[in-house]
Amino acid sequence: MVSPRLPEPLRPLRELAYNLWWTWNSEAVQLFRRMDEHLFEEVEHNVVKLLGVLDQSRLEALANDEGFMAHLERVLRAFHEYMQAPTWYQETYQRRLQTAAAPQGDGQVERSQDVPEPARVYQQQEGFGQAEFRIAYFSMEFGLHESLPVYSGGLGVLAGDHLKSASDLGLPLMGVGLMYRMGYFRQYLNVDGWQQEKYPENDFFHLPVLPELDKYGRPILISVPFPDREVYARIWRIQVGRVALYLLDTNVSQNSTADREITGQLYGGDQDMRIRQEMVLGIGGLRALDALGLSPSVCHMNEGHSAFLALERIGQAMEKYGLSFDEAREWVTAGNLFTTHTPVPAGIDLFPPGLVEHYLSAYLSRLKIDRHQLLALGRQNPHDANEPFSMAVLALKLSHISNGVSQLHGKVARRMWRGLWPQLPENEVPIIAITNGVHTPTWVSRDMNLLFERYLGLDWRNRLADHGIWKRVENIPDAELWRTHERRRERLVILARERLKWQLRRRGAPPAEIARAEEVLDPEALTIGFARRFATYKRATLILRNLERLDKILNNKDRPVQIIFAGKAHPRDHGGKELIAQIVHVARRPEFRRRIVFLEDYDYSLARSLVQGVDLWLNNPRRPLEASGTSGMKVAINGGLNLSILDGWWCEGYQTDNGWAIGAGEEYSDLNYQDEVESRAIYDLLEQEIVPLFYNRGGDGLPRGWIRMMKRSMQTITPVFNTHRMLQEYMERCYWPAWLHYAELYGGNLEPVRSLAAWRRKVMQNWSGIRIEHVEADHLEGIAVGQEIEVQARVHLGPLSPEDVEVQLYHGRVDSLGEIATPQTVSMAHTGALGDGRHLYVGYLLCDSSGQHGFAVRILPKPKNPINPLVFGLVTWG
């Protein structure tokens, strides 16, 4: 490895280049750009490569440039202040761990209510102090920056933003993924507009990644058990502010040629390749952390790709502590959580049973289970021998907490997976919702950042979820906000023209056609952006459905409108490729040549320019197939407005005065009719509301109504839909409860986990004998609001005791179908044993509203540990 020879004064540039903090600090970005702006663009903003290819004379000149050195000193000071500053985590959760075992003046120990006694025992015996509460965040892809092409789209970009906010907030979190030799494909179009793919190799030694080495300076290798062999992987590290991301690479000499290809391409190959990749990610990822001395207490699975890590954790717990499979499963599940991003079953990784049995054969003896028990872990119906093995089901069954990524997606996920809990009403399926966000400092433009610093305060980046900060947007003068936004739109148009000329030259277009690209788009026209993965359900061509009507909208002489499209279709998605070709063909028509553009090779850099420069962001998926979506959140930060179907995050973000909704959240069975209705709705909104509002200018030339909506959008969307709020919510609802439960089960020598496993086994074996024999209530006629009803129930528990169960009243208003739409529950009190396993319970219903009400009595398990009793799936109804 030959490193660039930096002059002594420039040595700190290497420290900055190998920490991606610089990518979300505009002053740091400008520092690297200042070194050689043309070369900075040529190396695609890869500053490690930039340092390696800069001419030595230029480096010497920079070292003697007082202005540049002052700039470097400012950036370096800001970086060191960032790395050492107190964080949100330190000031909240870490303080709880510190005070949990801190000796007081009288020699006593303060007892924090937030850290129960068993967790303190675990903390002391296992060394789980303030630094050892560790969260490992596993994801198949991480979108951190355009210089690191190991991501494909939204899932990866969300994962990257997750790490950046974890760094800002100071969470003890590590990322785990795969280091792809070729990453995701680069896109180009042929003469007919059909997508083509190429896979350039990543040169790891010109990327901001460093190998993890042992004390002898050799790469650390871990192994994953495969049939008849071990597959080895080395570990690379990417530093993301305070957070480390560890990526595994199987391209090592110890592996066969076939196994070296496991980390060749992201989402490449067939099912056989996918299961091998997911074994390396989940099993290998966990082993990599162990090898680095960073064993996690909480594992977060971002989608089901990494779910095999749960089997590895169970195996480790059995071997280290002598636990049975059931006992180890209880403990491991307590420390796992799972985020699903998929609203349709087709998006789930499913593997044939034979393939799973083949690759995981080593785990049968290790976990002391048979093939049926193994396959049952990945099936909704454990008794269906033909059901494929689902990675999402495996993750759901072996996670303490599971969540969807928007409130609507939470409902969709509960409907999708209710088969795992057939006795529960859909609304009680134990899948919560935590709505996605974006890392605001990454996606805000430099121009808008300067504006925020001037009017929101220098500390605005540290208070992203503070609504009070964003109310100050009102203080930004309309003229200044509009001029800032217009500069961004103008830069976007310049970029689009340059990229279009590059596309035409690559395609061998004649000089006259390339020259005409300078006339494409108008820097002052209302600019609509549509850029995302070209899956068919996202309906990229919906706005092209009536070209005659679209022509009148786009080519209005006094009120022109233009559309910029970008996006990739999956290499095997011919439907998505056809949508791209259709857009390209429409864009070549004479009436649309200057108004519609498709930009090739949509990536992180182009996405940033688009969300920072468009006036309006169009999003029209088929509801409810958009789990969340985040691009519209990035647009709002930069003053753009959203025009979207009420799906994903927009159901929560839309407030009538901060953007536009297409329809009212309807769902259709006739898809052609849906496309017709919703395309007409887009045209109507453009003609009647959006275009007039944009072009309605006062005497000063400002669109005051549009600016008012821009400000409202920033105020309502930005403080809510950011990853700082999202991470704080994960911490409060997932990471911290999971850690407490995991630590509490350790207790003294894991006695609580053994006790819990024995209790669950007893309950499972005897649950079929539970029944509700009789229910009676007084005065069910002529009830007035405010009156209380006494309900008595006689139940048969058999060998189980009242301490093992909770008897509840499930009640609420009844709809026209006789269903309780928004139920409430009340615990019933045990009032006496009647002998022969029978018990009497009594409860009281308060009738706090008028109308028709209903109730039922039901029995649930009642674990002594902080487990949601609904996850057991055991319910007996009266």
- pLDDT digits over 196-241, tens only? 999 998 888 899 999 999 999 999 999 999 999 999 999 999 999 9
Distance of CA 869 to the CA centre of its chain: 27
Phi, psi of 527 (to 5 degrees): -115, 120
Residue type, position 781, single letter: E
Q: How far apart are CA 448 and CA 452, in angstroms?
A: 6
Q: H or E stretch including 231?
A: strand 229-240
Q: Give me 122's structure tokens.
A: 């675990």
- 68: number of Cβ within 10 Å: 17
Q: How far apart are CA 843 and CA 811, in angstroms?
A: 12
Q: How far apart are CA 83 and CA 68, in angstroms?
A: 23
What distances in angstroms separate CA 703 from CA 560, 610, 615, 699, one per listed residue?
15, 21, 12, 10
Return the ∠ at Cα 348 (arms to 347 and 354), rounded to 5°: 135
Q: How far apart are CA 773 and CA 876, in angstroms?
A: 11
Q: How far apart are CA 252 and CA 181, in angstroms?
A: 12
pLDDT of residue 218: 94
CB 600 within 8 A of CB 625: no
- pLDDT digits over 438-447, tens only? 999 999 999 9
Q: How far apart are CA 174 and CA 245, in angstroms?
A: 6
pLDDT of residue 208: 95
Q: Give me 18's structure tokens.
A: 């190998």
Q: H or E stretch including 403?
A: strand 401-404
pLDDT of residue 98: 63
CA nearest 234: which of 226, 244, 245, 223?
223
Q: Which residues of the chain have pLDDT under 50?
A: 100-113, 118, 121-122, 125-131
DSSP state of 461: G
pLDDT of residue 402: 97
Give every CB contact of residue 856 below 8 A, 6+ residues apart in sequence: 809, 810, 811, 877, 878
Q: Is 566 exposed, middle or buried (0-12, 13-18, 19+ CB in 10 A)?
A: buried
pLDDT of residue 106: 42
pLDDT of residue 112: 42
CB-based burial, 420-440: b 16+ in 10 Å, e otherwise: bbeebbeebbbbbbbbbbbbb
CA nearest 118: which of 755, 732, 730?
755
797, 802, 805, 811: CA torsion to nearest 10: 90
Residue type, position 347, single letter: G
- 390: number of Cβ within 10 Å: 22
What distances in angstroms separate CA 234 from CA 219, 267, 287, 793, one per listed residue?
6, 20, 11, 62
- pLDDT digits over 465-522, tens only? 999 999 999 999 999 999 999 999 999 999 999 999 999 998 888 898 899 899 999 9
Among all chains, which residue has been given the structure tokens 């005659």?
548
CB 251 within 8 A of CB 259: no
Listing DSSP states for 756-816 in one string gives HHHHHHHHHHHGGG-EEEEEEES--SSPPTT-EEEEEEEEE-TT--GGGEEEEEEEEEB-T
The answer to whether the peptide bond before residue 4 is cis (omega within 30 degrees of 0) is no
pLDDT of residue 109: 36
Q: How far apart are CA 126 and CA 335, in angstroms?
A: 15
Residue type, position 28, single letter: A
pLDDT of residue 183: 77
pLDDT of residue 849: 85
